[in-house]
């Protein structure tokens, strides 16, 4: 009698034990996914963010993260008040280091990934849209290529930068050095260019160029081409 009872007990244990472990595993995976999602942030700065080795703009640069790129905060993260009152936070992906969230009252450099998903509009899928209902594009007047190029042309102010200008990968002199433009050279700005504040808070503006090599230069050293 003992043998059938033991066999029945074993069968019941297997029958009931496996689903319990499977359920426990599923719950654990869901918890990990939720924790990972809560650490997800998206870069909310159109120029991207510089990743520093330590929570200070004077520390070595580890790399950069682009605008709208997702990053992962370190577990148990906390806001770190750095020099000049800037707020920093540590990230682990896509690279490890510290990024600035901004200043108190304006800590908008990072937003939660869930906010981005909620704000993304869903495009209606109407397959029966008549061609007559499609919006008509009105051609806008365009300037000639030569005139556009002329408007984007700049040259180096020899009085302010007699040795030429350094070209950087980002709008800060702490970013990677790409090369140098001689003082007698002409530069071409990107279309729809704008002056960009220094990423590390220095009192200078930057502008992006496309030639003679692409990158960022100090805008205060440029004048319009003759």
Low-confidence ranges of the chain (pLDDT < 70): 1-37, 115-150
Total structural domains within the chain: 2
pLDDT recorded at residue 21: 56
Q: What angle do CA 116, 201, 109 make, to 5 degrees?
A: 10
pLDDT recorded at residue 1: 47
Kindly state whether residues 157 and 95 are assigned to the same domain: no
pLDDT recorded at residue 56: 87
Residue 134 falls inside a structural domain: no
pLDDT recorded at residue 150: 66
Residue 64 falls inside a structural domain: yes
Contact (Cβ atoms closer than 8 angstroms) between residue 205 and residue 198: yes
Name the residue range of residue 155's domain: 147-224
Residue 125 falls inside a structural domain: no
Kindly state whether residues 48 and 108 are assigned to the same domain: yes
Q: What is the pTM of this model?
A: 0.42
pLDDT recorded at residue 47: 82
Residue 30 falls inside a structural domain: no
Residue 83 falls inside a structural domain: yes
Residue 1 falls inside a structural domain: no
pLDDT recorded at residue 214: 92
pLDDT recorded at residue 126: 47
pLDDT recorded at residue 120: 47
pLDDT recorded at residue 41: 93
CATH number at residue 162: 2.30.30
């Amino acid at each position: 009698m003992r043998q059938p009872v033991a066999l029945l007990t074993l069968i019941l244990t297997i029958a009931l034990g496996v689903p319990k472990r499977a359920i426990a595993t599923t719950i654990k995976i869901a918890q990990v996914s939720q924790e990972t999602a809560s650490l997800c942030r998206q870069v909310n700065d159109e120029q991207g963010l510089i990743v520093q080795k330590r929570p200070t703009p004077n520390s070595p640069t580890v790399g950069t993260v682009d605008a709208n790129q997702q990053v992962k905060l370190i577990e148990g993260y906390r806001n770190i008040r750095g020099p000049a009152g800037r707020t920093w936070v540590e990230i682990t992906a896509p690279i490890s280091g510290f990024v600035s969230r901004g200043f108190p009252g304006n800590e908008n450099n990072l937003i939660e990934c869930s906010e981005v998903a909620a704000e993304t509009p869903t495009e209606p899928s109407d397959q029966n849209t008549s061609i007559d209902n499609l919006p008509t594009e009105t051609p806008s007047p365009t300037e000639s290529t030569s005139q556009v190029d002329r408007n984007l042309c700049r040259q180096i102010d020899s009085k302010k930068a007699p040795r030429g200008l350094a070209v950087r990968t980002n709008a800060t002199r702490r970013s990677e050095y790409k090369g140098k433009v001689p003082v007698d050279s002409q530069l071409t700005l990107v279309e729809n260019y704008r002056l960009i504040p220094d990423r590390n808070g220095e009192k200078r503006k930057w502008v992006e160029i496309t030639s003679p090599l692409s990158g960022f230069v100090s805008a205060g050293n440029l004048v319009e081409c003759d």
